[in-house]
Amino acid sequence: MGWNLGFPELMVIFVIALLVFGPRKLPELGRSLGKSLAEFKKATNELKRTWEEEVKTEETELKEIQRDLNSH
């Protein structure tokens, strides 16, 4: 993604989250964030796989059309 978060940046985010949500909510928020990121990654991979399959299908069809044109 291009985000380069170092340790100081992560600590600032953690302290802000601690102040805003409190120590009891942080584990729950962490789990929710982890699940959301996993779902997003799964959906992204599925979209990529579908896109690649469609491109491959189109390439095959174009090759067949080109073969038909060359044979006439």
pLDDT digits (tens, 9 = 90+) for 5-61: 788 898 898 889 889 988 898 889 889 989 999 999 999 999 999 999 999 999 999
Domain hosting 42: range is: 7-71
Is 24 within a domain?
yes
The amino acid sitting at 56 is: K
CB count within 10 Å of CB 63 equals: 10
Please indicate, yes or no, if residue 56 is contained in any of the structural domains: yes
Q: Considering the domain boundaries, does residue 15 fall inside one? A: yes
Q: What is the pTM of this model?
A: 0.58
Query: Which position has the token pair 């964030």?
Result: 33
Q: Cα separation of 53 and 46, whole Å?
A: 11
Residue 1 domain flag: no
Number of domains in the chain: 1
2 within some domain: no
Give dist(CA 14, CA 64) in Å, integer: 57
Residue 26 burial (C-beta neighbours within 10 Å; 0-12, 13-18, 19+): middle
